[in-house]
Structure 1
Amino acid sequence: MFPPTEAAATADQRLRAFLDDNAPTTPCLVVDLATVRENFRSLRAELPGADVLYAVKANPAPEVVAALVAEGSGFDVASTGEVELCLAQGADPSSLSYGNPIKKASDIARAHAAGVRRFTFDSDGDLENLAEHAPGARVACRFLVDAPASGTPFGAKFGCAPEMAARLLRRAAGLGLSVDGAAFHVGSQHTDPAAWVAGIRQAAELGVPMRALNIGGGFPTGYRDPAPPLSEHAAAIRGALAEHFPTPPALVVEPGRAVVATAGVIRTEVVLVSRKSDADEHRWVYLDVGRYSGLAETENEYIAYRLRTAHPGGGDGPVVIAGPTCDGDDVVYQRTPYRLPLALRAGDLVDILDAGAYTASYSSVSFNGFPPLPTLVVG
């Protein structure tokens, strides 16, 4: 564990006060908009001049989007639904970038008709659809970056080989599109600043004109384990741009987790505490939130959240933590060692900290009849 910053402690106080005063039905996610704004401003300060496009998928709560519109943020959108959400909250269409390289021709046309003029692609087929349905649009080609693995890696789903990206960018210019340059993403929750250095070097080696370089998101949050501060990643990025580009291109970043993770807490209730045998040291603690209702990032136990429970200061013991559904995969932590109070009982409240990103947005519609995770907002 590591001590929270003064700003984080203040945000935690606001969230706890809201939860204690309102006693909302569990489970629920509560988001502190003041922290969202503070995190966004920190990104701007560390990467001055960068075009910051908030990755809406991280937390699409309308209040979050509206707060970031007021801060002057741009938006990385991945569907026409996210386009419409941003526009409904007052975003200018010019601030939107359709970053998903997997999209229907009809979705390109719909986004273009709504005023979106920036798109990312990684294949001939998507490029051809852009030329036909978004003529003259600004485009970037996403390549597969050769970098250390992230906390939640993307695999090979997005991006193409660098040499293919160079060919596609030259073809895009021939099709009448306005070429911004290259794009890459090192993967979500990346704790190694060297990943961005590798991507920037590869982008420079493409040998194509680079008006702008989109380095994606991936900036990490400290969960149970500390993560390098944003300043370390920003310094590495600035240094790599200066080293590999005689005239650095305009920088584009697409943070999601870095903006909203620390702004949220999930309040949940213990449904049951049990053992699988009389001799088993481990208790099973079942919460009313699980893999299908907001904790999708615990798949493979990639993200280990900090927990705050009742009965602090007493004895504790090892636990397996699981969700409430009638599904065998709805186990949150079985390999990651967690210890919870021995006094923990059904009905006790548990807070899952730093849970503002990729929780409510991953929640299922109604698996097993459990409703989606609601989002409440402070400030």
Structure 2
Amino acid sequence: MIPVISDYYTSATFDRLKAFADTKETPFLVVDTQTISQQYEELVGAFPYADVYYAVKANPAPEVLTLLRDKGSNFDIASIYELDKVLSLGVAPERISYGNTIKKSRDIRYFYDRGVRMFATDAESDLRHIAKAAPGSRVYVRILTEGTQTADWPLSRKFGCQTDMAMDLLIMARDLGLEPYGVSFHVGSQQRDIGAWDAAIGKVRLIFERLRDEDGIELKMINMGGGFPANYITKTNDLATYAEEITRYLQEDFGDDMPRIILEPGRSLISNAGILVSEVVLISRKSRTGLNRWVFTDVGKFSGLIETLDEAIKFPVWTEKKGELEEVVLAGPTCDSADIMYENYKYPLPLNLSVEDRLYWFSTGAYTSSYSAIEFNGFPPLKTYFI
């Protein structure tokens, strides 16, 4: 079915976004800053005991960073380029964490020289680089977690280490003159199973207890990463339900001795604020008896929709056209055969859909403009507007 607007936006928000969109040439992303502000306030209200470190990679636009800076957010940074952008906006280095576990020694020093003192790690060689390039800094170790089957965009295996190695690294951090500060995990982006946090927090408690009892190390922080869902096609619980359950897990495992809690939201703060607007370029069938039309748009995997890879993230797609629906294949405009967004999961679109009609991709504020390629086939990066 065509998505119902009211399931994704208030009528006032949608009317404001669409009125603006109607004046612009496709493709582009339009983002409602009021929605970002509301999402941030909802998150802080749901987790009043937590510190928010916005994952800059989700949408690094100055308009987003400035808004969140002024609302008191901290920032999770993955590169020297993100660091420079955030510092240029007047954010103090004390509000920054270098959350990437894969980093060059000279980049660690770059962060250190600019005042950053909190670093993520998950490997001995990286830890030794931190000890040398950022002496005395706080480090937190990222652990592997489960949840790959219930997250639409899984993150494990590339990042993190097993529990026993995490403990070894935290002991080594102490011995190298660093501060073994805490443990981090990420249960996977767009995580629909709240229980994934329960299992991860249980692992963290074990690390805290073992290091305290056997090695005299008192860890002070849990970084729970992101994972809270945006509003796509697949139904999820609301943020309040996530917060209620996760808070219960923390209280069961840590009681009155709850450490500092850090959250690193990206998708959940920004996605619902955006609509990506595209235009139909071509409609065709692959044979006279083909059961499904192919609908080609002027936006695709390489211009912001890379999260449709393996059809993982299913964005709601809306059109003004009405009438009988037929399932279609949705594909992008480039000459790369991988530029197909949805082929197995067919989208129902009106039979009277025509070339030059517009498609509105809901909940696309995060991981679209930041993923957009530069001049593949000569197409420019995705234009983004903020209202």
Q: TM-score, normalised by structure 2?
A: 0.94
Give the number of equivalent residue pairs. 375
- Whether the 8 Å CA contact 2:144–2:160 is kept in 1: the answer is yes
Aligned positions of 1:288-327 closer than 5 A: 288-312=298-322, 314-327=323-336
- Whether the 8 Å CA contact 1:140–1:182 is kept in 2: the answer is yes
1:274 pairs, out of 276, 284, 299, with 284
SS at structure 2 position matched to 1:181: strand
Q: Report the Cα distance in structure 2 between the residues aligned to 1:211 and 1:167, rounded to whole angstroms.
A: 17
Structure 2: unaligned runs, 5 residues or longer = 212-217
Is 2:13 the partner of 1:11?
A: yes
- Whether the 8 Å CA contact 2:163–2:203 is kept in 1: the answer is yes
1:224 pairs, out of 233, 237, 240, with 233
Q: Report the Cα distance in structure 1 between the residues aligned to 2:175 and 2:41, rounded to whole angstroms.
A: 39
Is 2:361 the partner of 1:352?
A: yes
State the 1:2 CA deviation: 6.6
- Whether the 8 Å CA contact 1:270–1:345 is kept in 2: the answer is yes
| Residue 214 of structure 2: aligned partner | none
- 2:6 is matched by which residue type in structure 1? P
Q: Which moved more, 1:173-182 or 1:46-55?
A: 173-182
- 1:86 is matched by which residue type in structure 2? V
Change in 2 beyond 3 A, CA 1:15/1:2: closer
| Residue 328 of structure 1: aligned partner | 337
- Whether the 8 Å CA contact 1:51–1:253 is kept in 2: the answer is yes
Q: Report the Cα distance in structure 1 between the residues aligned to 2:17 and 2:144, rounded to whole angstroms.
A: 39
CA distances 1:48-91 after superposition (whole Å, capped 9, x unpaired): 12010000101111110110001000011100111111112221
Q: Report the Cα distance in structure 2 between the residues aligned to 1:143 and 1:6, rounded to whole angstroms.
A: 34
- Whether the 8 Å CA contact 2:156–2:186 is kept in 1: the answer is no
Q: Which moved more, 1:244-253 or 1:122-131?
A: 244-253
Q: Report the Cα distance in structure 2 between the residues aligned to 1:146 and 1:30, rounded to whole angstroms.
A: 35
- Whether the 8 Å CA contact 2:147–2:188 is kept in 1: the answer is no
State the 1:5 CA deviation: 6.1
Change in 2 beyond 3 A, CA 1:112/1:8: farther
- Whether the 8 Å CA contact 2:271–2:365 is kept in 1: the answer is yes
SS at structure 2 position matched to 1:375: strand
State the 1:148 CA deviation: 5.3
Aligned positions of 1:157-306 closer than 5 A: 157-206=158-207, 207-208=210-211, 209-246=218-255, 247-306=257-316
Taking only aligned residues, the RMSD between alpha carbons, in angstroms, comes to 1.4
1:339 pairs, out of 341, 348, 352, with 348
Q: Report the Cα distance in structure 1 between the residues aligned to 2:252 and 2:156, rounded to whole angstroms.
A: 28
Q: Report the Cα distance in structure 1 between the residues aligned to 2:28 and 2:9, rounded to whole angstroms.
A: 23
Change in 2 beyond 3 A, CA 1:287/1:39: same
Structure 1: unaligned runs, 5 residues or longer = none
Change in 2 beyond 3 A, CA 1:282/1:146: closer
| Residue 27 of structure 2: aligned partner | 27
Is 2:101 the partner of 1:101?
A: yes
Q: Report the Cα distance in structure 1 between the residues aligned to 2:89 and 2:281, rounded to whole angstroms.
A: 37
Change in 2 beyond 3 A, CA 1:5/1:92: farther
- 1:238 is matched by which residue type in structure 2? T
SS at structure 2 position matched to 1:205: helix
